[in-house]
Amino acid sequence: MQLVLSGDEAVARGALDAGISGAFAYPGTPSTEIMEYVQDNLAAYVAGLPEAERGKIVAQWCSNEKTAYESALGASFAGARAIVSMKHVGLNVAMDPFTNSALVRINGGLVIVVADDPSMHSSQDEQDSRVLADFARVPCFEPSDQQEAYTMIRQAFGYSEQNEVPVLMRLTTRLSHARAMVQTGSPRLPAPKPKSNDPKSWILMPAMARGRWKLLLEKNAAFRRDAEAENTLQLRSTKLGVIACGLGLAYYLENETDWVAANGGASAQHSSKGSQRDGATPGEAPSLLRITRYPIGHDKIRQLAAHVEKLLVIEEGYPFVEREIRGVFGAPVPVMGKLSGEIPLEGELTPESVRLALGLPAHEELPPAGIKVPGRPPQFCQGCPHADSISALQEALAGEADFYVASDIGCYTLSALPPYRAVESCVDMGASIGMARGASCVGQKKAVAVIGDSTFYHSGMTNLLDAVSHKTTLTLLILDNSTTGMTGAQPTISPTSQLPALLQGLGVERDHIHELISLRKYQDENAAVIRSELAYEGVSVIILKRECLEYLKKARKA
């Protein structure tokens, strides 16, 4: 079947066609659409299964990436194929199960799909998940386009089962969120394996873990060999050797014809089909090593280096391959890339940056506008409940000289921008409560944390427990909009109605839990409640409730 799919959707389609029984995730741009596609297509998927299998298929949003990961791991132990998907910083949250699950014997195929966000379109850093796959010593697959994303995740499940290891599949924003035609293959139905009777391979107590770690290190030699076999080398021009990783290939191929023309070749016709030319017949185009799997082997790189005058490494994210090639003692030929400055170290690859790195002149441009074109940063939707909650907080703090407002990750972080300039820090999921608490512990007056309901469930609860246990003075505002808003209104893990009971269960005193409706017309009374709690020496929680407008829009459509 031919479908038009984004990279995220191609991965999801591939996972369904690989016969997954479980999909687990926490929303995060640019990975969210993986789970959304699985959920949207789940009914049709289940209907195609034998009666006995139908009750055993799930696609669930989870509290956070760590819980999602652990559910996927359990599904694998039980013999089923499972996918867990997240954005790059989500893998930090799931780092504990991720690195440790590399040591256990994977049963049903386990694939972790991580979408990196170079250029930080919707993120707080641009970390490169290939580095974390390397850190955990697990194989990493990196597709170069949507078709490969589909094909490769199907291979990844098989590879995971054959090698009894989790496989990390890395996407980047422009692959996740670009749509192209994808040819799908015939689906494989779920075929869960039996649970094994070898618990030693699942128990990471030191004595067992040492054996498992040794085994993993031994397996790495095979991972490297397999990656080397998959990464394709074409020896052509001796002038330049290009090493293109993942999506970097598309930016190279965009400019290949022009390179050939500029370097004395006929205006060649093979620009788009370069990958199908094989063997060592020297052509006009640069020699090319395509990397789609890690850890990389070194033989093809050596062959390439022996054939060309210089190398150019094109990779999204960190100079990961480039650094490996350079080593301490230097490469036999010049290596160009992010470390040498031909490609910027920060931000995503662009067709322009790769063009310049290939030594080609920039395309001619019209002069920019004669007037200043101001940026248009994101802002609260018209009528957003967060805007009213933040206004109430600002009214409550008016006239205070010494306070600290810590924010969390969500739409309300937009209150850092004018006209609000209301919050002072935003670092990671759930951090607002910990940061406000720590500041309060060392004497900060009026420490306030602002967090959304979804982020609170994600990783705010444990910080609140710390505050309750240590009787730290802080004021927590939970902006409860019943959804995960910024990523497009996915359901939160727990309903609004349960929140007060949850807070009491964590030990917050009942008299200091307030439920307010966040509307402009209640601003003064809401501010009064916040002000009185700011004066309280202890933990107080103010829930400001009103549904997200995106959520209402989505609910109306459904």
Partner 1 sequence: MNYNIILAGVGGQGSLSVSVVIANAAMKAGLQVKQSEVHGMSQRGGEVLANLRLSDSQIQSPTVPRGMADLVLAFEPLEALRYIPWLNKERGVVVSASQPIRNIVDYPEIDSVLAEIRHLPRFRIIDADGIAKAAGNPRAANIVLVGAAADLLPIPISALESAIDEIFARKGEAVIQANRKAFNDGKTQFGK
Instruction: Give the footprint of partner 1 on this chain (CB under 8 A).
Output: 4, 29-30, 32-33, 121-122, 173-175, 177-181, 247, 250-251, 253-254, 271-273, 350-352, 355, 362-381, 411, 414, 418, 486-488
Shortest Å distance, C-beta 43 to partner 1: 18
Q: Which is nearer to partner 1, 110 or 349 (CB)?
A: 349
Q: Which is nearer to partner 1, 29 or 151 (CB)?
A: 29
Shortest Å distance, C-beta 241 to partner 1: 19
Shortest Å distance, C-beta 127 to partner 1: 17
Identity of the residue numbered 12? A
Shortest Å distance, C-beta 130 to partner 1: 20
Q: Which is nearer to partner 1, 429 or 447 (CB)?
A: 429
Shortest Å distance, C-beta 424 to partner 1: 19
- Helix extents (H) in 380-512: 385-397, 431-441, 453-455, 461-469, 499-505
List b or e across 212-243, with b for residues whose CB sees 16 or more CB atoms inside 10 angstroms. beeebeebbeebbebbbeebebbbbbeebbbb
Q: Which is nearer to partner 1, 393 or 414 (CB)?
A: 414
Shortest Å distance, C-beta 67 to partner 1: 22
Q: Among 280, 278, 281, 255, which Cα is nearest to 268's?
A: 255
Q: Which is nearer to partner 1, 166 or 248 (CB)?
A: 248
Structure tokens at 171: 């996407």
Q: Which is nearer to partner 1, 381 or 461 (CB)?
A: 381
CB 477 within 8 A of CB 530: yes
Q: Which is nearer to partner 1, 129 or 255 (CB)?
A: 255
Residue 26, exposed/middle/buried by CB under 10 A (0-12, 13-18, 19+)?
buried
- Strands 311-314 vs 286-291: parallel, antiparallel or unpaired: unpaired
Q: Which is nearer to partner 1, 4 or 345 (CB)?
A: 4
- Residues 162, 155: Cα–Cα separation, whole Å: 10
Shortest Å distance, C-beta 374 to partner 1: 4
CB 398 within 8 A of CB 390: no
Q: Which is nearer to partner 1, 100 or 122 (CB)?
A: 122
* Terminal Cα-to-Cα distance of the chain (whole angstroms): 27
Shortest Å distance, C-beta 234 to partner 1: 16
Strand order in the sheet with 335-336: 233-234, 286-291, 237-245, 311-314, 335-336
State the residue for tokens 């990975």.
Answer: 31
Structure tokens at 436: 């406000």
Shortest Å distance, C-beta 166 to partner 1: 26
- Residues 446, 439: Cα–Cα separation, whole Å: 10
Shortest Å distance, C-beta 495 to partner 1: 25
Q: Determine the 3-state secondary structure of 29 from DSSP.
A: coil
Q: Is the peptide bond before 27 cis (omega within 30 degrees of 0)?
A: no
Q: Which is nearer to partner 1, 219 or 554 (CB)?
A: 554
List b or e across 248-281, with b for residues whose CB sees 16 or more CB atoms inside 10 angstroms. bbbbbbbbbbbbbeebebeeeebbeebeeeeeee
CB 251 within 8 A of CB 319: no
CB 325 within 8 A of CB 311: yes
Shortest Å distance, C-beta 439 to partner 1: 26
Shortest Å distance, C-beta 29 to partner 1: 3
In 223-336, the DSSP E strands lie at 233-234, 237-245, 286-291, 293-294, 311-314, 335-336
List b or e across 386-397, with b for residues whose CB sees 16 or more CB atoms inside 10 angstroms. bbbbbbbbbbbb
Identity of the residue numbered 386? H
Q: Which is nearer to partner 1, 31 or 64 (CB)?
A: 31
Q: Which is nearer to partner 1, 197 or 269 (CB)?
A: 269
